[in-house]
Amino acid sequence: MPDGWETEPSNLQVQLSVLTITVLGSWWLWNLTAIPVVIEVDGVADTVYTHRRAVGALLSDVGLLPATYSRLEESFQPDDTFVFGIKDNGGAGEALRLSHSLDAKIDRSVSEDGLKVTIERPRPFRISADSRDVLLSSWAGTPADLLADAYIGFDPHDQVIVNGVPAAWDASMPARPTRLSAPRYDRGHAWARIERDPLPIQVYRSIPFTVDDGNLPFTIRTTAQTVGEALREAEITIYLGDDVQPSLGSPVSAGLLVIIQRSTPISLWVDGRWIKTRTRSQTVGDALTEMGIGLTGLDEVSPSLDTPVRENMEIRIVRVREEIKIEEDIIPLETVCKGDPDLLIDIQQVLSPGAEGITRRRYRVRYEDGQEVARTLEDTWVAQEPVKREIAYGQRIIRRTFVDEAGQEITYWRMIHMRATSYSAATAGVSPDEPWYGHTRTGDPMRKGVVAVDQKLIPLRSQVYVPGYGYGDALDTGTAIKNRRIDLGYDDDNLVLWRRWVDVYLLWPPPPAYQIEWQVPNLPVEPGVNHQSRPCPVSGNQ
């Protein structure tokens, strides 16, 4: 075999080895001599290695600037950033904000200090206005600035919707979100994963329409759908009594004329309360009809029904009614009493019941709001004449007897139920130093058998009999011994206390007629006993 066949494979291997060593050496040398630069784009940073000596060339290498571009504008901002207007050969362009000028040098000394290039790109927007969409990138901070950048005119009354939310024209744009797409196998630079979805902006044009509220008509612009919403947005107050044509729910259209018939505020006093309301009526009477308030009979209205309605007028309605009332005066019954010698003592007999008299008066009574304000006497007459009541009281006295517990027969002419108490000289309330101590009203010595009585009912020095006590001589009186009271006397050594009701017998013979009290008063009153009334108390000389 020729010698050349043995040497050719060895030469090929040598060549491949030399090539590999050269590539690896070049790669190692390139990395050894490359300068690291941190590039931050829209808040996302990544480190790149470069041999470029200017920032502009580096940004072209990493795709942040077109391969061929022309500078449209360059300015230095107060915040130490540069703004470059960039245009590629295709004519597209945008402004970038850079922390360094495009001509800034990149060398080892700079990279040792940690060179960092910050780039901020304008925000993408999608503007929907006038039935068309406009895509652009802008640094605009407000919707007004954005439409100016897009050369789209607007009226201050137009409505702008930023990302689905209504906003004012001078409101700040919402913060720019930083969203990264999912990493790929060939991820490229970190900022390449930033999703730059355009921020949606919708512009709704306002519609002009005219409002006539009774003064000079004026025009307003609105984006509202209905008349009511448009008036509310324009801060035009509509009161409950106002009339709006077309109605508040009508749709708004260009050139629409809205007529507002204003109501007048009034205050109404009726049925005891104030009512504040509004009315479109021209007179007081029409206003009351509009409110459904009726007048009846003698009702009074102030001011009158034909008075023109004016602002803040006070209308008063006084409910008036009249009634006829009958009042009665009772003429007291007059009682005439006379003695009857044929009727037993302490017996009464009604001869004529009599009747009270009645005098009646007719009044016309006037009420205003339920309160009586006037009363007029129209007539007076006697409806019933009084009739005297006649009563006869007994004056016949007969001899009576009863047998006491000891079997003794007692003869009497009258029995009176009385309240009995007891006393002695020591309990009579008289000082022993007084000369009349121990003596009765008649001057007799105090002893058992002396009783104190009301001498109008039981004459002094007459005799009585009290069951349980015995005979008694009416020889004493007392300031508290009145009417049907009797005080039973005792010696100081044998005083027995009495405090009860007893039958007192007035012993025969009776006193002269002029000393007899024919009608016994009902005092004191015995508890639980209904005594017959004594309408004719008279003295014995009648």
pLDDT (tens digit, 9 = 90+) per residue, 143-186?
A: 999 889 888 988 888 889 999 999 999 999 998 887 777 776 66
pLDDT of 20 strictly over 80: no
pLDDT at residue number 268: 92
pLDDT at residue number 84: 61
Amino acid code (one letter) for 91: G
Distance of CA 216 to the CA centre of its chain: 42
pLDDT of 372 strictly over 80: yes
pLDDT of 217 strictly over 80: yes
pLDDT of 362 strictly over 80: yes
pLDDT tens digits, one per residue of 35-79: 888 888 888 888 888 888 888 888 887 877 765 555 544 555 555
Q: Which one is predicted more confidently, 117 or 142?
A: 142
Alpha helices in 128-224 (DSSP H): 143-149
What domains are defined for the chain?
Answer: 33-120 (3.10.20), 123-177+191-204 (3.10.20.90), 207-261 (3.10.20), 268-317 (no CATH), 323-393 (2.20.230.10), 399-515 (2.40.40.10)
pLDDT of 88 strictly over 60: no
320: left (phi over 0), alpha (psi -120 to 50) or beta: beta
Give the mean pLDDT of 323-343: 91
Structure tokens at 205: 């044009």
How many CB atoms neighbour CB 215 within 10 A? 9
pLDDT at residue number 179: 79
Structure tokens at 418: 């009385």
**Whole-number Å distance between alpha carbons of 540 and 246:** 105
Range with lowest mean pLDDT among 45-59, 383-397, 451-465: 45-59
Give the mean pLDDT of 183-193: 73
pLDDT at residue number 448: 95
Confidence band for 220, pLDDT divided at 50, 70 and 90: confident
Confidence band for 531, pLDDT divided at 50, 70 and 90: low
How many CB atoms neighbour CB 503 within 10 A? 14
pLDDT at residue number 186: 61
Q: Which helix (H) or strand (E) holds 471?
A: strand 470-476
pTM for this predicted structure = 0.48
208 Cβ contact list (under 8 Å, min separation 6): 219, 220, 221, 254, 255
Alpha helices in 157-314 (DSSP H): 227-233, 284-290
**Whole-number Å distance between alpha carbons of 303 and 294:** 16
**Whole-number Å distance between alpha carbons of 301 and 316:** 6
Distances in Å between the alpha carbon of 161 and those of 123, 164, 223, 251, 289?
Answer: 17, 6, 12, 21, 49
**Whole-number Å distance between alpha carbons of 417 and 522:** 10
pLDDT of 329 strictly over 70: yes
Could you tell me what percent of the chain has a pLDDT over 90? 43
Q: Say if CB 468 and CB 499 are below 8 A apart.
A: no
Could you tell me what percent of the chain has a pLDDT over 70? 86
388 Cβ contact list (under 8 Å, min separation 6): 333, 334, 335, 336, 352, 354
pLDDT of 532 strictly over 70: no
Structure tokens at 86: 């960039």
End-to-end CA distance of the chain: 198
Q: Which helix (H) or strand (E) holds 112?
A: helix 108-112
Look up residue 453 and give its DSSP letter: -
Range with lowest mean pLDDT among 26-30, 233-237, 332-336: 26-30
Distance of CA 422 to the CA centre of its chain: 72
Q: Say if CB 475 and CB 462 are below 8 A apart.
A: no
Give the mean pLDDT of 456-476: 96
Q: Say if CB 128 and CB 203 are below 8 A apart.
A: yes
Q: Say if CB 340 and CB 361 are below 8 A apart.
A: no
pLDDT tens digits, one per residue of 282-326: 899 898 898 888 888 888 899 998 999 998 999 999 999 999 999
pLDDT of 278 strictly over 70: yes
pLDDT at residue number 31: 60
Q: What value does the mean pLDDT of the chain take?
A: 85
Task: Label the pairing between strands 335-344 and 389-396.
Answer: parallel
How many helices (H) and strands (E) the chain has is answered by: 6, 32
Please name which of 465, 478, 541, 540 lies closest in space to residue 508, comparing C-alpha atoms.
465
How many CB atoms neighbour CB 419 within 10 A? 19
pLDDT at residue number 390: 93
